[in-house]
Chain A
């Protein structure tokens, strides 16, 4: 993969971006989205463009497609096959899009016309129904002939994204711009889509601009990686080189705070302090300077242009590369001792807490009735016979893809949903507290932070000054100043909101803290800070934690034990390290294989996660299972969690483990 990077060849580039500046107008403010970007994409190359939210990466995609809004102000050039997609007449740009460009966007549900059949939409790009059918087959849509007549809402997310890809590669374009094409998808589906992109590149020979916030995604398929920060290029080079020998402090920070299945569980996660600069008032100098440990006086003065630090490897830093790398090494050594401030150990600790039971879930069943069209209602089995105990002070992660029932389980434990069967016992009879995925939405917008945190103190008799003091203490505990109590959620950043949610949950320390994907909406650099904080609070307040996540590498860090769910059942349960490094259930193995990581590239699990509306009989995983036997599909089969190994702490619900 790495040696196929053809950008050094003499063949002319497919696309050339030169000194691109884009300023957008929002309300009466100017958003300086891109402030001097230059790069080119060679024929047949996959360029991974990595950046956090607000880095300008999507605006770059729109510039390339010539689809910037009318009020955007631009300078520089954005050439595709010699036509400037910024300044060429609309008709020229349109023809370029028609003949040479394809596009895949993040959300395939909204990116397809809801009232138009799939076949017709693909045919718009493919010119004919026959070609549309061929393309749908080529991108791996099963039963493509029938799917031509379907509407987008009748397809799964993975299939919809395949339809988008079919439209993008129609007419054999020379460049496909893919803007976060896998972000809305489950991990196993993401792995399939990434594999599809690469095989299309090999077949058609088109280039890809793959825009992503996840270094792991770029690492998996890109030939070269470009890292963007605050509208500027931080670093660019061959994928392996950037990942192993990053030259820019921001790339190093991003790599450091990124979780992988190999991250240390005993040390606090590296965090990037501070936040992305305000795009309405970008700094004059290096935009990363305010967050950079190595900042010098020169950094803040004028913008730093990328310079070649090695052949084909660019970095926009004034410091010599040796100094950057040396400083990082030193910082790593220093991290042996726990640093002061808000960071702390990750939530997981290897010591198994031996104590009373904090949460006891016994044979819980939850069924929803959902509208199924034509006035009928359909049964959705969200939880099918779940049993799980969480000890006092223990941290358990529940991992699964969408439709696995993991969030429903959490909501049932929280008391936000009533279990349809079975029992939930809380060791102390105290209501658990919960933090939500979208922290902003979990804070009442018109109430101040102080009101919200104070609401939990209503039951306790205390004077007003006492209450103010308690609120301030809770805020201090999550690393926020006391004056945050006076503001509303809208005035806070994403990371701050999640901290406020944690302060509300812990102002009266609960025995059980429930976390529903609290980091999945945050950028990597902020997520690790929140994970550290949850770990610290858990230890200081002696809380048990139930942490729902789709990300195994997060689960491994935050949890003592991991429960893997598939279609409403727990299929594997055990010590975090055991589950991740010695997975026994074929689904867990596939999930681990699908985690985008550097270097690893196991074959993707076929098929979509089955719908909880129609769970397959027997073991629900059998249609996708590589080791399934006939007996697995037996409707009378109810796979139970059975202990394996010594102590029976590691449990697997599979009747074919002996095959592995």
Chain B
């Protein structure tokens, strides 16, 4: 067990190292010159040289990469050209909003995906409609889902808000940064309710694609498991349908759905960048959207590292969970 965990953590460390190398190489390949961005086009030649030296840009690449790595270990991602703040501080500011949205969307995706899988496997009434809606939704770009949602539920029906995280100007800002939680902690349930309302549209726009993927995988492993010999054995024992499903089918079906969920988080991260843009959601996505047009590469690199490392970490956890759940998997 300890060996399994350490092996997986080792693999994770290697992948994250590769990620840093990729990001570093991109930085080098980038046409933007950080010195020019900092000093402006009119800077003197000496000033540029001085600045290059100060940033260590005159050193050989391996040593630059080494410095880059050591800085990363100290949580130093450099300065944003655009905001002129340390990127670590920027990310810390914008992360909670994104985390809240992503978590909400993940829960939504799991609920919808499971509903889709169970309803179609057991052929419930209305399963066809649910499947059609979700599947058509999964062929729709997230931004179209988002603007469609705004047109219908905000403009036409007026049920839901279209922008931002909250309608309160005095919403609590701590301690978790997740408004739904902070509202409850501050004893202001109306803030929580309002935050939930703001989450619905962006959350749905983000969740539908992953929900269909998760649902599809879960459904195919449910169907596949129902056809196995050991389910036939369980039926032959005279167990009830419900207990066959619970004890033999569902448990053995969760593995693939869990891996799929891990992988879908990558898509969701990319979706966040798009969706936050549409809903003016004050998170990392919007931060990135603003950084891209002005070529704020350190900011983009910081976001890539954060999301990439998060993705790798989540999938490592999924992997370990699976190995724990399935006695057949050895290290």
- A101/B248 in contact, CB under 8 A: no
Bound CA–CA A98/B325 (angstroms): 29
Contact string, A103-120, partner B, CB cutoff 8 A, digits 1/0? Answer: 101010011111110000
CB of A311 closer than 8 Å to a CB of B: no
- B331/A125 in contact, CB under 8 A: no
- B233's contact among A95, A151, A164, by CB below 8 Å, is which? A164
User: Of residues 121 to 164 in B, which have CB atoms within 8 Å of A's CB atoms?
Assistant: none
Bound CA–CA A261/B143 (angstroms): 76
- B239/A115 in contact, CB under 8 A: no
Given that A65-B236, A97-B237 are known contacts, is A115 also in contact with B228, CB under 8 Å in the complex?
no
CB of B53 closer than 8 Å to a CB of A: no
Bound CA–CA A65/B326 (angstroms): 30
Given that A105-B229, A107-B229, A116-B247 are known contacts, is A97 also in contact with B327, CB under 8 Å in the complex?
no
Bound CA–CA A95/B331 (angstroms): 42
- A113/B234 in contact, CB under 8 A: yes
Bound CA–CA A642/B235 (angstroms): 54
Bound CA–CA A151/B326 (angstroms): 10
Contact string, B1-33, partner A, CB cutoff 8 A, digits 1/0? Answer: 001000100000000000000000000000000
Stretch at the interface among A219-227, A371-379, A420-428: A371-379
- B3/A374 in contact, CB under 8 A: yes
- A97's nearest neighbour on chain B, judged by CB, is B238
Given that A116-B248, A151-B328, A374-B3 are known contacts, is A111 also in contact with B232, CB under 8 Å in the complex?
yes
- A101/B328 in contact, CB under 8 A: no
CB of A418 closer than 8 Å to a CB of B: no
CB of B330 closer than 8 Å to a CB of A: yes
CB of A412 closer than 8 Å to a CB of B: no
Given that A67-B232, A111-B229 are known contacts, is A124 also in contact with B237, CB under 8 Å in the complex?
yes
- A67/B251 in contact, CB under 8 A: no
Bound CA–CA A113/B232 (angstroms): 10
- A96's nearest neighbour on chain B, judged by CB, is B238
- B3/A99 in contact, CB under 8 A: no
Bound CA–CA A98/B330 (angstroms): 35
- A115/B328 in contact, CB under 8 A: yes
* Complex contacts, A99 vs chain B, CB 8 Å: 238
- A113/B252 in contact, CB under 8 A: yes
Contact string, B221-248, partner A, CB cutoff 8 A, digits 1/0? Answer: 0000000111011111111110000011
- A124's contact among B228, B241, B247, by CB below 8 Å, is which? B247
Bound CA–CA A375/B236 (angstroms): 37
* Complex contacts, B328 vs chain A, CB 8 Å: 114-115, 151, 153
Given that A96-B238, A374-B330, A374-B331 are known contacts, is A112 also in contact with B233, CB under 8 Å in the complex?
yes
- A432 shortest CB reach to chain B, Å: 37
- A183 shortest CB reach to chain B, Å: 14
- B239/A124 in contact, CB under 8 A: yes
User: Of residues 349 to 374 in A, which have CB atoms within 8 Å of B's CB atoms?
Assistant: 371, 373-374
Given that A67-B232, A116-B247 are known contacts, is A94 also in contact with B238, CB under 8 Å in the complex?
yes
- A167's nearest neighbour on chain B, judged by CB, is B237
CB of A102 closer than 8 Å to a CB of B: yes
Bound CA–CA A114/B231 (angstroms): 11
- A175 shortest CB reach to chain B, Å: 12
Bound CA–CA A90/B244 (angstroms): 14
Bound CA–CA A373/B237 (angstroms): 32
Instruction: Show 21 A/B contacts (Cβ-Cβ < 8 Å), sorted by A.
Output: A94-B240, A97-B238, A98-B239, A101-B236, A102-B236, A111-B230, A111-B233, A113-B233, A113-B234, A113-B248, A114-B252, A114-B327, A114-B328, A115-B326, A116-B247, A125-B237, A125-B238, A164-B233, A168-B236, A373-B330, A375-B7
Name 18 extra pairs, CB < 8 A, besides A112-B230, A116-B248, A124-B247: A65-B236, A90-B241, A94-B238, A94-B241, A96-B238, A97-B237, A98-B237, A98-B239, A103-B236, A111-B230, A111-B233, A113-B247, A114-B328, A125-B238, A153-B328, A373-B330, A374-B3, A374-B330
Q: Which residues of A contact B (CB under 8 A)?
A: 65, 67, 90, 94-99, 101-103, 105, 107, 110-116, 124-125, 151, 153, 164, 167-168, 170, 177, 371, 373-375
- In order of increasing CB-CB distance, the 10 nearest A-B pairs are A98-B238, A97-B238, A103-B236, A373-B330, A110-B229, A113-B230, A111-B229, A375-B331, A125-B237, A151-B327
